[in-house]
Structure formats: C-alpha cells, structure tokens
C-alpha cells in the first residue's frame, strides 16, 4: 500500500510505530512475551490503517474546502455590488474589485484607508450617525450616501452593514443607486416646477378622483370658491356644481378620453354662484383634472352688450325714421344730381366733429369751371349747364364712396374728403382736373385741410381757406391746383 504523508505531528508517531514493529520482528518467539508483543503489533497495524483512512478523508475534506473557498472568492470578487470589511475605526480591511471600481480607486490603495474619506461632505453626518448605530450592536443598518468618485464625480450608493466580533469588524455591502437618485432628483424638480406652475396659475386647477371627491386644488381655485384647501378636499364636484344640460353625456365623453369645455355655475362657500368655464380631461390613473376660469366678468359684459344692442336697435329705428324724414328734404342739386349745399354742410359738419375729436385728417377741395361765363354768353345757359353736369360726373368717377361732392353754387363745386390730408387731396384733385381735359374744360382748384393746432372751430373755416386757395389758382392763370398756405 502506498503510504500517505500525514499532516502535523502524526508522521513522527507513525515512524515510531514502524521502528517498534521492526524491533519486535528481530526478536524470536523464544519468550512468552513475544506472543503479547505480536498482539500489540497487530493492534498497532490496525490503528495505523484507521489513521491512514482518516488522513485520506481529511485530505479530501481539505480539497473540498479549498474548492468552496475558491467559489466564495469568485463570488466575492465578481459580485454585482461592492463588499467592504471595516474595523472599529472605519478603516478598510478588505474589499472586492467591484467596491474598488465603485469608488474609482485601485484595490491596493483602498486597504487601510478610512472609508469616510470617500463620503461627500454633504453625507458625512448621515454616515457618522449610521456608523455609530452599527457599533452600538443594534443589528443590520442601511442608509444612502453620496460619494466622491475619483475625487470629483458624484455617485450615490446604498450601504447595508452588520457588525461582528463585538463591534471590532463591520461588513458592508455597497450598491450603486446613482441612476435612481438622478431620476428621483429629476422627478422632484419636475414636481416642484409643476407645483410652482399650478400655484402661479391665475385659473383654478382641481384634481378629483373617479368618485368625484377632490384630491387636489391650487390657491386660485380655493380663492375662487372661498374655501380653504382642507375644506375643498372634503367635498365632491357634485356638491359645488349646479346641474347643466347633457351632464351625463359630458361624463361619458370624458371617460372616453376626450377633452371637454363646458360652462356652468359653481356654488361658492357663501352660497353665491360664480359663472365658470371648465376645461377637463381624464388622466391615465382614472382621476379627472379640471382648469376652471371665472367668466363672471365676461358674462356681465355680454349682458351689458345685449342691452346695448337693444338700445342700438332702438336708436337705429329712430335713425331710420330720421332718414325717412330727410328724404323729404331737398338733398340733391336738381341740375347735377349730386348733393346740394345744404346737404353738404350736414355731412361736412359730422365729419368735421369726428375728425376734430379723434385728431384725424380731413380735407376740402373747392373748384370751378374756367371761363363758364363765356360759354354761357356764347352758346347759351343750356351748354353751360351741360358742362356742369359733365364736370360733376367726371369728378364723381375719381372719388371714393366716403367722399362727398356737392354743388356749392353757380359754377363752384366742393368736395369733402374724410381721413385725407392736403397732400393726398392734391392727387385726387389732379385726377379730376385731368379727367375733364378731354371735354375741353379746365378747372381751377383750391385745397385746404383741418388744423388741430390751433384747432379749427368749425368746417366753415376750412372751406374759407379752400376758397382762398381757389382764388389763388385763378390768380396764377387758372387750370391749376393750389393748396392753402398761411402766406395767402
């Protein structure tokens, strides 16, 4: 049998037993003690055999232990979390590769360093309190800490630890939760922004459960109804909303995922009604969100507008009656069919009042036919009248609908031009003058506009200035246009 080397102090013992056996063999069977010696030798051989078997078992057990230790080492080094062993002072005794990577430090540089140097200043109070609880032996403890990785990169990790050996040793597990913390921080900021927006909103914002009970309300909503937030959260929507047409259909549409806009009255805490416009929608969690806008002012304005419309209808009826009366008056010039002097002054006075009140431009053109007396003397008054009719038609063709052309008297014509400056009136006058040239007629024309500084007292003052400009055109040799100047 192949001899197996025994561990520890068993080898010298076996060697002694072998020497004893050899000594016994050299002795003969000549004495009675030999029988006893042989018996002892057999027992020793049997004992030796048992020891060798035990040694084989021990060797096998040691191999199994080494295999388990190797598996444990692999699990320890390649675990998805960092493992740390700390002493009572918080010094790192042992760690795995994941722990070293987590802190961004080489493995060899971590051992015998204080664990707290990697904790950020912000998290040091939490870590100190956590470590004190651990050393008190109250059991397993956990916390979340902020670490400085590589001296500048911030990471978050969850630390779970337990004390052993009466507090002399702490075994801790570190799990990277940076992504979760960042997501939580982003969610927190988003919620803060949402809350700020909701609170700053001028409209009431309400959130109700599927049972209609309020679960949230902003300050504007509470102020609108006169309730505190605590009081609002004890009410249902049905308790503050008056019935409105097609209410059941509206709820059905909302539950179908549609956004609806309805107008109704809400009952305030003091009992009075407030007209509101509610834009509502069902959220994915089954709750309903409503944005409530106070439209009482708009409703009141609409009511005033309805009364005003009625008043305007009455005024319009009166105006129609007045217009019917005016139709009985002589408003037009019997020869040319355009407005007569009386009608012109009515329209011009109104236009002047409006222009003066709102500081708007207004212009007057006065003109007459050159040498009309010679036509009358040579060809008769019928020819002269025909010339006046032709002049009136040619002038109307160059004017706007808002302009007023009238026969001022004899061969003089006058034009009222609302919202028109003297410079703009000059272009119109030039078109009229050119339009009659194919009729072998020439015109002398004078232009004046309203003055706001100093203010004209009435439209007659503008007409007088236009008349002066007309005489200046005649003085220049006729067939021309002159705009009034203070130098006249």
* Per-residue pLDDT tens digits for 86-105: 998 899 999 998 888 888 88
Beta-carbon neighbour count of residue 58 at 10 Å?
Answer: 14
pLDDT of residue 108: 82
Confidence check: pLDDT of 159 > 90: yes
Give residue-wise pLDDT tens across range 268-310.
999 999 999 998 888 888 888 899 999 988 888 988 999 989 9
Note whether 387 and 441 are within 8 A (CB).
Answer: yes
Per the prediction, the chain carries an average pLDDT of: 85
Q: What share of the chain is helix, strand, coil (3-state, %, to 5)?
A: 50, 25, 25
What backbone torsions phi and psi does residue 156 show, to the nearest 5 degrees? -115, 140
- Closest alpha carbon to 131 in 150, 120, 145, 152: 145
Confidence check: pLDDT of 3 > 90: no
Give residue-wise pLDDT tens across range 451-472.
988 889 999 999 999 999 999 9
Give the DSSP letter of residue 138. -
pLDDT of residue 23: 56
- Closest alpha carbon to 414 in 376, 363, 473, 358: 363
pLDDT of residue 222: 92
Confidence check: pLDDT of 72 > 60: no
Confidence check: pLDDT of 414 > 90: yes
> Mean per-residue pLDDT for 330-334?
83
CA-to-CA distance for 56 and 244, rounded, in angstroms? Answer: 94
pLDDT of residue 191: 81
CA-to-CA distance for 112 and 105, rounded, in angstroms? Answer: 13
pLDDT of residue 64: 62
> Mean per-residue pLDDT for 315-319?
88
Q: How far is CA 480 from CA 348, 396, 437, in A?
A: 25, 19, 12
Instruction: Tell me whether domains 82-182 and 201-294 share a fold.
Output: yes
Confidence check: pLDDT of 67 > 60: no
Q: How far is CA 262 from CA 44, 248, 254, in A?
A: 107, 13, 11
Could you tell me which CATH number the domain at 201-294 has? Answer: 3.30.450.20
pLDDT of residue 243: 82
Give residue-wise pLDDT tens across range 249-265.
777 777 777 888 888 89
Q: Is 225 exposed, middle or buried (0-12, 13-18, 19+ CB in 10 A)?
A: buried
pLDDT of residue 5: 47
Give the DSSP letter of residue 485. -
Give one DSSP letter per residue of 396-458, joined into a string: HHTS-TT-EEEEEETTEEEEEEET--HHHHHHHHHHHHHHTGGGT--EEEEEEE--BTTBPSS
What backbone torsions phi and psi does residue 254 show, to the nearest 5 degrees? -60, -45
Question: What residues form DSSP beta bridges with 380?
Answer: none
Beta-carbon neighbour count of residue 65 at 10 Å?
Answer: 10
> Mean per-residue pLDDT for 45-69?
71
Question: What residues form DSSP beta bridges with 171?
Answer: 85, 162
Mapped onto helix, strand or coil, the DSSP state of residue 149 is strand
> Mean per-residue pLDDT for 404-428?
95
| CA 272 from centre of chain | 34
CA-to-CA distance for 415 and 127, rounded, in angstroms? Answer: 95
> Mean per-residue pLDDT for 425-435?
95
pLDDT band of 8, cuts 50, 70, 90: very low
Domain boundaries along the sequence of the chain: 10-74, 82-182, 201-294, 329-483
pLDDT of residue 47: 80
Specify the length of the chain in residues.
Answer: 488
pLDDT of residue 16: 58
Could you tell me which CATH number the domain at 329-483 has? Answer: 3.30.70.270
**38 Cβ contact list (under 8 Å, min separation 6):** 24
Could you tell me which CATH number the domain at 82-182 has? Answer: 3.30.450.20
> Mean per-residue pLDDT for 5-10?
48
**pLDDT over 90 percentage in the chain:** 43
Note whether 426 and 483 are within 8 A (CB).
Answer: yes
Note whether 473 and 482 are within 8 A (CB).
Answer: yes
Which residue has better confidence, 185 or 322?
Answer: 185
Q: Please compute Rg for the chain using Cα positions.
A: 56
CA-to-CA distance for 419 and 450, rounded, in angstroms? Answer: 10
Give residue-wise pLDDT tens across range 19-35.
555 555 555 444 566 67
pLDDT of residue 421: 95
Question: Does the model's pTM come out above 0.75?
Answer: no
pLDDT of residue 1: 38
> Mean per-residue pLDDT for 232-255?
82
pLDDT band of 149, cuts 50, 70, 90: confident
The enclosing H or E element of 143 equals strand 141-149
- Greatest mean pLDDT among 52-66, 317-331, 419-433: 419-433
- Greatest mean pLDDT among 33-42, 122-131, 319-328: 122-131
CA-to-CA distance for 416 and 411, rounded, in angstroms? Answer: 17
Q: How far is CA 40 from CA 9, 20, 25, 368, in A?
A: 22, 10, 12, 167
**pLDDT over 70 percentage in the chain:** 88
């Amino acid at each position: 049998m192949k001899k197996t080397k025994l561990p520890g102090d068993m080898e010298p013992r076996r060697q002694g037993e072998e020497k004893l056996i050899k000594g016994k063999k050299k002795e003969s069977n000549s004495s009675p003690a030999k029988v006893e010696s042989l018996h002892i030798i057999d027992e020793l051989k049997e004992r030796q055999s048992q020891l060798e078997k035990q040694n084989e078992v021990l060797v096998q057990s040691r191999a199994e232990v080494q295999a388990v230790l190797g598996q444990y080492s692999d699990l320890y080094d390649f675990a998805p979390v960092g493992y740390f062993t700390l002493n009572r002072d918080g010094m790192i005794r042992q760690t795995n590769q994941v722990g070293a990577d987590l802190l961004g430090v080489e493995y060899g540089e971590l051992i015998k360093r204080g664990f707290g140097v990697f904790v950020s200043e912000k998290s040091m109070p939490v870590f100190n309190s956590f470590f004190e609880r651990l050393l008190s032996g109250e059991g397993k403890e956990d916390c979340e800490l902020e670490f400085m990785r590589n001296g500048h990169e911030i990471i978050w990790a969850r630390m779970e630890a337990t004390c052993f050996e009466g507090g002399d040793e702490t075994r801790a597990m570190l799990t990277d939760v940076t992504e979760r913390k960042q997501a939580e921080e982003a969610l927190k900021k988003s919620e803060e922004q949402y809350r700020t927006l909701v609170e700053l909103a001028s409209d009431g914002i309400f959130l109700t459960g599927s049972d209609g009970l309020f679960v949230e309300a902003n300050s504007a909503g509470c102020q609108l109804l006169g309730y505190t937030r605590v009081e609002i959260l004890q009410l249902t929507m049905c308790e503050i909303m008056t019935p409105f047409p097609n209410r059941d259909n509206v709820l059905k549409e909302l539950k179908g995922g549609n956004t609806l806009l309805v107008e109704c009255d809400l009952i305030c805490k003091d009992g009075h009604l407030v007209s509101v416009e509610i834009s509502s929608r069902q959220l994915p969690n089954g709750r309903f969100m409503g944005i409530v806008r106070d439209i009482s002012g708009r409703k009141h304005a609409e009511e005033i507008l309805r009364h005003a419309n009625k008043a305007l209808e009455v005024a319009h009826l009166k105006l129609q009656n007045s217009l019917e009366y005016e139709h009985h008056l002589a408003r037009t010039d019997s020869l040319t069919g355009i407005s007569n002097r009386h009608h012109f002054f009515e329209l011009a006075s109104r236009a002047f009042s409006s222009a003066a009140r709102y500081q708007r431009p207004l212009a007057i053109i006065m003109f007459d036919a050159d040498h009309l007396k010679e036509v009358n003397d040579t060809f008769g008054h019928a020819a002269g009248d025909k010339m006046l009719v032709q002049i009136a038609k040619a002038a109307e063709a160059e004017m706007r609908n808002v302009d007023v052309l009238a026969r001022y008297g004899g061969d003089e014509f006058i034009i009222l031009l609302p919202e028109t400056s003297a410079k703009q009136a000059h272009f119109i006058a030039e078109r009229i003058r050119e339009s009659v040239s194919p009729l072998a007629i020439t015109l002398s024309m004078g232009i004046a506009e309203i003055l706001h500084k100093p203010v004209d007292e009435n439209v007659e003052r503008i007409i007088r200035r236009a008349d002066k400009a007309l005489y200046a055109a005649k003085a220049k040799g006729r067939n021309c246009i002159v705009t009034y100047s203070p130098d006249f």
